[in-house]
Amino acid sequence: MKGLGWKEAALVIGAAALVWLMLTSIGVVPSEAIAGLVRGSVGGPAAWRQTLREMTPLLIAGLAVAVALRAGLFNIGADGQLLVGAAAAAVVALAVPGPVGVVLACAAAAAAGGLWAFPAGWIKVARGGHEVISTIMLNNIAVFLTLWLVRGPIKDPSVQTWTTPSLPTGTGIPSLVEAGVFRLNWALPLAILAAVAFGVWLQRTVGGFELRAVGANLTAAKVAGVDVDRIRIRAMVASGALAGLAGAVLVLAFEKRFYSNFSPGYGFDALGVALLAGNSAWGLLPSAFLFAALSAGTTSVQILGVPKGLSTVLLGLIIIVFAVLRYREACRDG
Amino acid sequence: MTGVTVRFGSLTALENVDFEARPGHIHALVGENGAGKTTLMRVLFGSQRADSGEVTVDGAHVKSRRAAIGMVSQHYSVIPQLKNLQNLMVGAEPGAVLDRKRDRARAEGIARAMGFSFDWDAPSSSLSPAGAQKLEILKLLWRESQVMILDEPTAMLSPADSEELYTSLKRLAEEGRTAIVVTHRIREVLDHCERVTVLRGGKRVATLPVAETDEANLARLIIGHDLRERGSATAEPGPPILMIERLTVLGDRGHRAVDDASLVVRKGEVVGIAGVDGSGQRELFQALIGTRSATGSVRFGGIDWLNLTTAKRLASGLRLVPEDRHAEAVIEDWSLFENAALGLHRDPPFAHGHWIDTQGRARQAGVIADAFKTRYGSLAQPMKSLSGGNQQRFVAGRGLTTQPKLIAAFQPTRGLDIDGSAKIYQAIRHECRQGAVALVVGFDLDELLVECDRVVAMCQGRIFEAPGGLERDRDAIGRLMVGVG
């Protein structure tokens, strides 16, 4: 990184001042809050467990958004695709227990997510409808569809709350490390592997070359003989399938069931993850980690008396600062 | 206007040009593409700064010219989302608060004086090209412009609409206004204008009353006399290999941009396509590439060309030097390595099965860059760090060093110096002597006549060939270009 210009410096100082002001205004000592943030995200095995847990769906959903983004498509619908994926995974895993059920549940989640994204890709290609609009619409449909399912057809009749029954033990993604309070299962290493594989695919294969060409310059891609319509639909479906998988991982690795208001907005945070990662698939790893650490950290800061809304503001400010620093170079070039 | 000079970097667009138009006249400004017509009019209008020279209107130096001078550019500025009345006023609203009744009455008055009628509340997206053109003229009247500049006003109009347009211009001239019409069409100049100024290569060649000239004379003035020496001998043409028959391609506005055009190219030939910009060359090329659908038939080496995907056409040896380098030929953020592969990225040496062959690609990128001496620091640097001329060298290198069979080159020497241009044409001819064929679109007739084996003309979507014995006759082809048989 080059030295900071005065504008960037002013932004960082301004953001810090804003945070300081907000914290003191509600009677929290800023230094304590910052220390709490760090402690809650990377200060000890329990904090690490929480951060890596958050990182798992964020990385997979971030990868989902990145796949579409590289083809020039903005998939705002990751949250909806994640929801239908999670619901599908819960239904299948409840019907077919054991490792086979886990595999089938992942397949079902990918299929559901892909299916949920397909209309957006098709509308874009066939009618020129903007994918941002169609995916937002599909988000709403997904929210209410899954809500209806969990209130009726797939509800656990034995409890009052809107939830499916819990998965039987042995039906889930197995643990990789269990040391004291620290837990890590196979989902995160697999997700990291997927992000790395995507990076290699983008740079080293003909398919990746064509996907990037479509995203970088549609007309030039057409002139170069790339079937841009097919690639855009495929990218959208692949993006949806990955978001669906993120939902499956949440069900199979962590929550062990599906319930109402299942996603706290992973699909939207995933947009931030993918954008902050910029043009690099590798960038998804630090980007997802940052989002996860802040999310875990702000949860613990709430214990100090910082209200949830304010911790979200804090998260937003930090991301804005990172984003400005991240895109500084790109703006200077352009 | 006296002594107007405009430079763009090292290029001199206008050199010491004098221009005067009188009230009550329709004054025509003619010249080839790049002659400086539009630049001169922009200087007059005030949207282009002159490096030197003076502009006076009614004897006074004008600073805020926009009040007195109005310009309708080639691309209409009607905003389709607005209503006709809103479009009429936009930018020149009578006050902060709009009085619909008063504005409508004034609009009606202006339109009626011109013999036009408009549905003021209809959305402007429903206007025909002729309607949009009329609305543009009314916009100038709304602003009470005394001098009206119309850049290629009839380019999108049917002959009948063109007639009507000139009738209204005549009426405005009779009221004491000045109309300046930039046009390619000599016929219109002779039929409707009082005086004509000819620009060539940024210099004024002549200003004369239309009554004292004729078609042949004007065509000669526009194109000039100096014919350059030809680089090499005409090829011995082989059997016909590219057959374009009754090709029709619809343009963006749904008009027949290529209209029933036919052309036969023999193996080994370099065929130049002359014509003023917008005569259908763009759409013809898009149809050959496969990015625009077309009816009729194109056969290349016996293959039904129009049924192939663009990818198959490229695999069959189609090589391009596209018209719009930024939009069509390169991806500016990408490295030279990756841009070298664009279009040929599926096959060796750029790929090996599904995998990109980075070594083969690097080798070929070097060959491409060296073909026409592209100046670069490293092949890993992004395309956008190269100057336009160097990008053009690279794009031409990509098309001509990768076993072309059918070369489609749109202004392949754009932005290049004489030496660079000559090398590119040499390479095109070299490939054609090996059995390829080339179609070259150019706007410089001299260059095409010197460098190509044969030159045909495109005018209003049709391809015209000069009669036997006159295939390389500049006057004959020049007349075909402007639609004068």
Distance, in Å, from the CA atom of B336 to the CA atom of B324, rounded to the nearest integer, reads 18
B365 versus A308: the higher-pLDDT residue is B365
Tell me the CATH number at B378.
Answer: 3.40.50.300
Q: What is the pLDDT along chain A (334 residues), one digit of tens a residue?
A: 445 677 778 888 888 888 888 888 888 888 888 888 888 889 889 999 999 999 999 999 999 999 999 999 999 999 999 999 999 999 999 999 889 999 999 999 999 999 999 999 999 999 989 999 999 999 999 999 999 999 988 888 888 889 999 988 888 888 888 888 888 999 999 999 999 999 999 999 999 999 999 999 999 999 999 999 999 999 999 999 999 999 999 999 999 999 988 998 899 999 989 988 877 788 999 999 999 998 888 888 887 777 777 767 877 787 788 777 766 655 444 3
Distance, in Å, from the CA atom of A66 to the CA atom of A72, rounded to the nearest integer, reads 10
B463 touches B456 (CB < 8 A): yes
- For B444, the domain range is 240-481
Tell me, yes or no, whether B210 and B271 share the same domain: no
Residues 412-431 of B with CB under 8 A from A: none
Q: How far is B84 from chain A (nearest CA, A)?
A: 26
Q: Is A215 helix (H, G, I), strand (E, B) or coil?
A: helix
Residues 6+ apart with CB under 8 A from A199: A280, A281, A282
Q: Is A182 helix (H, G, I), strand (E, B) or coil?
A: strand
Return the HEC string of chain B: CEEEEEEECCEEEEEEECCCCCCCCEEEEECCCCCCHHHHHHHHHCCCCCCEEECEECCEECCCHHHCEEEECCCCCCCCCCEHHHHHHCCCCCCCCCCHHHHHHHHHHHHHHHCCCCCCCCEHHHCCHHHHHHHHHHHHHHCCCCEEEEECCCCCCCHHHHHHHHHHHHHHHHCCCEEEEECCCHHHHHHHCCEEEEEECCEEEEEEEHHHCCHHHHHHHHHCCCCCCCCCCCCCCCCEEEEEEEEEEECCCCCEEEEEEEEEEECCCEEEEECCCCCCHHHHHHHHHCCCCEEEEEEECCEEHHHCCHHHHHHCCEEEECCCHHHHHCCCCCEHHHHHHCCCCCCCCCEECCEECHHHHHHHHHHHHHHCCCCCCCCCCEHHHCCHHHHHHHHHHHHHCCCCCEEEEECCCCCCCHHHHHHHHHHHHHHHHCCCEEEEECCCHHHHHHHCCEEEEEECCEEECCCCCCCCCHHHHHHHHCCCC
pLDDT at A76: 93
Tell me, yes or no, whether B206 and B122 share the same domain: yes
Closest Cβ opposite residue B311 in set A204, A213, A225 = A225
Name the nearest CA neighbour of B116 among B158, B84, B150.
Answer: B84
Residues 6+ apart with CB under 8 A from B40: B1, B4, B14, B17, B19, B29, B199
At B327-346, the pLDDT tens digits run 899 999 999 999 999 999 99
At B68-121, the pLDDT tens digits run 788 887 667 788 888 888 888 887 777 777 788 888 888 888 888 777 888 888
B396 versus B443: the higher-pLDDT residue is B396
Tell me, yes or no, whether B58 and B159 share the same domain: yes
What is the number of other CB atoms lying within 10 angstroms of the CB of residue B102? 11
Instruction: Work out the average pLDDT over B263-275.
Output: 92
> Within a 13 Å sphere around the CA of A203, how many CA atoms are in the beta-carbon half?
11
Distance, in Å, from the CA atom of B13 to the CA atom of B20, rounded to the nearest integer, reads 19
Residue B9 pLDDT level (bands cut at 50, 70, 90): low
Instruction: Work out the average pLDDT over B280-291.
Output: 94
Residues 211-250 of B with CB under 8 A from A: none
Neighboring chain A residues of B355 at a CB cutoff of 8 Å: 204-206
Question: Tell me, what amino acid is at A105?
Answer: A
Tell me, yes or no, whether B193 and B54 share the same domain: yes
Residue at which a domain ends, from B161, B189, B223: B223
CA distance to A305, B75, B149, B483, per residue, from B79 (Å): 55, 11, 20, 32
Name the nearest CA neighbour of B295 among B338, B328, B247, B333.
Answer: B247
Name the nearest CA neighbour of A191 among A234, A235, A246, A114.
Answer: A246
Contact A204 B358 (CB under 8 A): yes
Tell me, yes or no, whether B96 and B211 share the same domain: yes
pLDDT beyond 60 at B33: yes
Lowest mean pLDDT, pick from B89-93, B290-294, B306-310: B89-93
ipTM of the complex: 0.83
Tell me, yes or no, whether B83 and B211 share the same domain: yes
Closest Cβ opposite residue B331 in set A207, A220, A227 = A220
Distance, in Å, from the CA atom of B152 to the CA atom of B150, rounded to the nearest integer, reads 6
Residues 6+ apart with CB under 8 A from B323: B282, B285, B410, B411, B441
Q: Please tell me if residue B333 touches chain A, with a CB cutoff of 8 Å.
A: yes
Q: Which residue has the tokens 């052309």?
A: B263
Neighboring chain B residues of A220 at a CB cutoff of 8 Å: 327-331, 342
Tell me, yes or no, whether B191 and B251 share the same domain: no
pLDDT beyond 60 at B61: no
Neighboring chain A residues of B342 at a CB cutoff of 8 Å: 213, 220, 224
pLDDT at A333: 41
Neighboring chain B residues of A217 at a CB cutoff of 8 Å: 327, 330-332
Backbone angles phi, psi at B295, to 5 degrees: -115, 160
A296 touches A41 (CB < 8 A): yes
A89 touches A211 (CB < 8 A): no
Tell me, yes or no, whether B90 and B180 share the same domain: yes
Neighboring chain B residues of A206 at a CB cutoff of 8 Å: 345-346, 351, 354-356
Lowest mean pLDDT, pick from A209-218, B60-69, B169-178, B234-243: B60-69
Q: Which residue has the tokens 């090499």?
A: B232
Q: Is the peptide bond before A264 cis (omega within 30 degrees of 0)?
A: no
Contact A204 B355 (CB under 8 A): yes
Tell me, yes or no, whether B250 and B218 share the same domain: no
Domain count, chain B: 2
B441 touches B413 (CB < 8 A): no
Tell me, yes or no, whether B212 and B246 share the same domain: no
Question: Among A210, A214, A217, A229, which would you mutate to test the B interface (most chain B Cβ atoms within 10 Å of its Cβ)?
Answer: A217
Residue at which a domain ends, from B223, B254, B273: B223
Strands B318-321 and B406-410: parallel
CA distance to A90, A99, B61, B186, B423, per residue, from A103 (Å): 12, 6, 81, 75, 61
Residue B300 pLDDT level (bands cut at 50, 70, 90): very high
Residue at which a domain ends, from B157, B190, B223: B223
Name the nearest CA neighbour of A82 among A296, A272, A291, A258.
Answer: A258
pLDDT beyond 60 at B232: no
A5 touches A264 (CB < 8 A): no
Tell me, yes or no, whether B303 and B171 share the same domain: no
Distance, in Å, from the CA atom of B50 to the CA atom of B47, rounded to the nearest integer, reads 10
Q: Is A138 helix (H, G, I), strand (E, B) or coil?
A: helix
Q: Please tell me if residue B355 touches chain A, with a CB cutoff of 8 Å.
A: yes
Is B49 inside a domain boundary?
yes
Is B235 inside a domain boundary?
no
Distance, in Å, from the CA atom of B485 to the CA atom of B345, rounded to the nearest integer, reads 45
Neighboring chain A residues of B345 at a CB cutoff of 8 Å: 206, 209-210, 224
pLDDT at A115: 97
Is B129 inside a domain boundary?
yes
Q: What's the angle, vertex CA B118, arms to CA B112 and CA B123, rounded to 5?
A: 155
Distance, in Å, from the CA atom of B462 to the CA atom of B261, rounded to the nearest integer, reads 5
Is B229 inside a domain boundary?
no
Residue B155 pLDDT level (bands cut at 50, 70, 90): low
Q: Please tell me if residue B331 touches chain A, with a CB cutoff of 8 Å.
A: yes
Strands B462-464 and B406-410: unpaired
Tell me, yes or no, whether B202 and B246 share the same domain: no
Question: Tell me, what amino acid is at B1?
Answer: M
Contact B346 A206 (CB under 8 A): yes
Contact A204 B343 (CB under 8 A): no
